[in-house]
Amino acid sequence: LAKNKLIKSRRMKMQTSDSWVAFHADEELFRSQPWTLTDFVAEIESVTFQDVQRVAQIYFGKDKWYLAMCGDIANDEVEIHW
């Protein structure tokens, strides 16, 4: 589902000449080897559930949360429930 959304979204974006040129200009200017839309699709298709799970464990652990608040808030007014 997520893979299809990413692929369809990229293909939709590539339907305007401005997006098409921007995509290819970025590839030519910033990559040592240009990347095509076919390469993008292949890269997305190659992602496995295990890849997603591995990355999620790195970034979404209990010790990885950050909270920013504005205003007059005391530490004792903040409750965190796991």
pLDDT tens, N- to C-terminus, the chain (82 residues): 889 999 999 888 888 888 888 888 888 888 777 778 888 899 999 999 999 999 999 988 878 888 788 889 888 888 877 6
Task: Confirm whether 47 is domain-assigned.
Answer: yes
Q: What gap in Å lies between CA 3 and CA 45, rounded to an integer?
A: 7
Task: Confirm whether 33 is domain-assigned.
Answer: yes
What is the reported pLDDT for 69? 85
Q: What gap in Å lies between CA 55 and CA 24, rounded to an integer?
A: 28
Split into its structural domains, the chain has a count of 1
What is the reported pLDDT for 82? 66
Task: Confirm whether 82 is domain-assigned.
Answer: no
The boundaries of the domain holding residue 68 are 2-77
Task: Confirm whether 66 is domain-assigned.
Answer: yes
What is the reported pLDDT for 52? 93
Task: Confirm whether 23 is domain-assigned.
Answer: yes
Task: Confirm whether 32 is domain-assigned.
Answer: yes
